[in-house]
Amino acid sequence: MELIYFIPPDKHGEESLKSLLLEHPEIQYVSLMGVDFMGNGTDEKIPIKLMLEDIQSFLQYGVQTDGSSVDLKGITSLNDARVDLLPDVSSNWYVDYNYYYYNQNCYTRNLVALEQELPIGTLRIPAFLMHNGDRIDCRAILQRATECFEKEILQLFKQHPKLCKQIGAESVEDIDKVILTAGTELEFWVRTPDDDADVEKLSASQALKEQYWKRTTGVIRTALEKSIWILEKYGLQPEMGHKEVGGVNNRIESNGKTRYAMEQLEIDWHFSSALQAADNELLARELIADVFRNHGLEVTFAAKPIDGVAGSGEHTHVGAALKLKNGKYINIFSSERMKDDYLSEIGYGAMMGILKNYEIINPFVTATNDGFKRLKPGFEAPVCVVASLGHSYNIPSRNRSVLVGLVRDIDNPKATRFEVRSPNPYSNTYLVLASLYQGMLDGILAAVKSDLSSKELEGEISKGFGVAGSYLDKDRVYRSEEDVFEHFTEAERSKNFGNPPATVWENIRSFEIFEDKLAVLKRGNVFSQELIQAYKETILSHWAAELENRIIPDNIRHIRGYKELHLNEAYTDLDVVLWKKISYIKQKLAKDSSIEKSHFTRIKDALKNQEYRLVSALQLEMAESMKELDELYLRYKTNMTEF
């Protein structure tokens, strides 16, 4: 009997579902997957027989659970904790197999003999979290965003008949539906367990580009190929897997087995509808991690697992199209004249909507300390709110220093989309997409209302500093085809593109600074004020807890590893000077005195008093001091001859 890996929506009917499950006794559990603010999917083990007893009731009412421990602060609490998990019958369902536990029962539930043992499976059903009658989870937020976008776009075509003419339709009645598409590119690091990163070797390999798109070998090749194979089985339609820029060459033992491996990889798969794309991303992370771990390799999807070496991003692609009743698909971002225009009026509006509203989108994109470690000026992740269209209509955008890139092919109008380069693998894709579509919708409505032509809208997005626009802010620049880190000074970047947040607190504070823009998120009741407030509380709570309980303890362990070395050999005056500087920074960071508290203690005190502005400033100072300490110790250690 062949395993089944996913069940599409057209197989979710009671009879077909019951028949399928009865024929597959290896599927012994069902789990409903709701998604909280941190992007975590819930998981539980419910015996499948309970679902089979009353499938209709199970699908209609789901299961009740205690939501007090789910990351939905400000919504669920100890005295109001009931949360219902409601199955989403419109999405793909997946079977999660445990390859460490095989079915000992040789008969199906219809008493048909099996010829082989099969791994135990859990039917994972994407679900919505219900609290007091409201859908409060991230999947529900994204679903509301897509419904709002589709409704508003149809209304726009109804109110502006000229838009219908531009797509070759007589009227809005010719439009069957609006289709929102999304796709993600997943980067991650893999390594053999118990091996520490050698930053010097990794940096040298990165500078020499020894790894990027090179041939994979050994166990990493096997795990990569199996990952692509399993993604295909689950219907994700993988398109490519390859080495990324980070990593060093593997070392093998005399028996040919891999002894040491540390590499950065990327796997991409086909785009899908917005909600399905977010589900796929969560599924892909789990599948890939399982495959590599089954081959004895550790996987991390952290944005910046190794300081000083390339981090991992998750470029997110967004697009929108119309399906006409005659079966034709029209990309509404594409111009009628692909060789004479970058975008349609709607396309320009969508891009401008992302840029104008990014301050309230960004808190959903980067919400962790790790995420901000990746967002450093001049490195692989963008920090400036600016877009690239291309040097000309015939030359596509290749600018990797911008926030939003236009992806287009003049011979294929269906391919037009935006690539948002700031998300990382642990960004909550549901909320990223929901906020992006809300921002795009705001820009589209403004662009159509302005009645400006595509050329005029191109002029607005390309305007200089101090030039007023119909929609975009006067004192900002929104387009650059140059490398923004080479072409502009830091002062010029701040003036033209704004000052990017540097900590989680600074980013979350944008909800207060740009409070007038929150109406964009709230359109169509996609985000309520209660949900935004709950999100703020959840993210700030995680930020504070991680600082106190993980980052500071990790830094203390790091500092304790920096030992005095030069007394064991003939040393120079430089050794003495360097060690004095190292010792001073170590004490300043970690050692209290009778008259002065250390940097770490000051952060803990500020956290206790909820003085988050001070915490944020001290966190930045701590990061700079740790960076300086690492650089000094590397120089100090390099100068040793006997070490």
Q: Which of 37-51, 103-117, 164-178 has the highest mean pLDDT?
A: 37-51
The region of weakest confidence among 36-40, 182-186, 242-246, 549-553 is 242-246
Assess whether 523 and 554 both reside in one domain.
no
Q: What CATH number is given to the structural domain containing 452?
A: 3.30.590.10
The total of structural domains in the chain comes to 3
Confidence (pLDDT) at 198:
64
Confidence (pLDDT) at 58:
94
392 beta partners: 395
Confidence (pLDDT) at 76:
62
In a domain? residue 470? no
In a domain? residue 467? no
Assess whether 39 and 184 both reside in one domain.
no
241 beta partners: 267
Measured from the Cβ of residue 336, the count of other Cβ atoms closer than 10 Å reads 13
Assess whether 105 and 217 both reside in one domain.
no
Q: CA-to-CA distance for 266 and 261, rounded, in angstroms?
A: 16
Assess whether 342 and 447 both reside in one domain.
yes
Assess whether 162 and 227 both reside in one domain.
yes
In a domain? residue 318? yes
> Which position has the higher pLDDT, 42 or 144?
144
Residue 387 confidence class, pLDDT cut points 50, 70, 90: very high
The region of weakest confidence among 208-212, 406-410, 589-593 is 208-212
Domain closes at, from 134, 149, 182: 134
Confidence (pLDDT) at 131:
87
Assess whether 42 and 82 both reside in one domain.
yes
Place of tokens 């594409």: 334
Confidence (pLDDT) at 67:
65
175 beta partners: 324
Q: What average pLDDT score do residues 209-236 get? A: 88
Confidence (pLDDT) at 643:
62
- 433-457 confidence digits (pLDDT tens): 999 999 999 999 999 999 999 999 9
Assess whether 122 and 146 both reside in one domain.
no
- 74-85 confidence digits (pLDDT tens): 776 545 668 899
Confidence (pLDDT) at 106:
47
In a domain? residue 469? no
Confidence (pLDDT) at 217:
82
Q: What's the per-residue H, E or C state across 205-263?
A: HHHCCCCCCCCCCHHHHHHHHHHHHHHHHCCCCEEEEEEEEEEEEEEECCCCCEEEEEE
Global pTM value: 0.94
In a domain? residue 316? yes
Q: What average pLDDT score do residues 252-276 get? A: 83
> Which position has the higher pLDDT, 201 or 145?
145
Task: Give DSSP secondary structure letters for 273-311.
Answer: EHHHHHHHHHHHHHHHHHHHHHTT-EEE--S-SSTTS--
Assess whether 120 and 149 both reside in one domain.
no
Assess whether 303 and 372 both reside in one domain.
yes
- 57-71 confidence digits (pLDDT tens): 999 999 988 766 666
Q: What average pLDDT score do residues 294-298 get? A: 92
Mean pLDDT estimate for the chain: 90
Domain closes at, from 134, 168, 191: 134
Q: Is the pLDDT of residue 28 over 50?
A: yes
Assess whether 573 and 434 both reside in one domain.
no
Q: What average pLDDT score do residues 143-150 get? A: 98
Task: Please name the amino acid found at residue 622.
Answer: M
> Which position has the higher pLDDT, 23 or 433?
433
Q: What average pLDDT score do residues 445-470 get? A: 96
Q: What CATH number is given to the structural domain containing 28?
A: 3.10.20.70
Confidence (pLDDT) at 78:
44
Confidence (pLDDT) at 537:
95
In a domain? residue 89? yes
Residue 413 confidence class, pLDDT cut points 50, 70, 90: very high
Assess whether 563 and 519 both reside in one domain.
no
The region of weakest confidence among 55-64, 104-113, 542-551 is 104-113
73 beta partners: 76
Residue 324 confidence class, pLDDT cut points 50, 70, 90: very high
Which residues in 474-486 are b (16+ Cβ under 10 Å) and which e? eebbbbbbeebbe
In a domain? residue 435? yes
In a domain? residue 174? yes
**β pairing state of 329-331 and 316-324:** antiparallel
Q: What share of the chain is helix, strand, coil (3-state, %, to 5)?
A: 45, 20, 35
Place of tokens 């500087």: 581
Q: Which domain holds residue 604?
A: 537-638
Assess whether 89 and 17 both reside in one domain.
yes
Q: H/E element holding 186?
A: strand 175-191
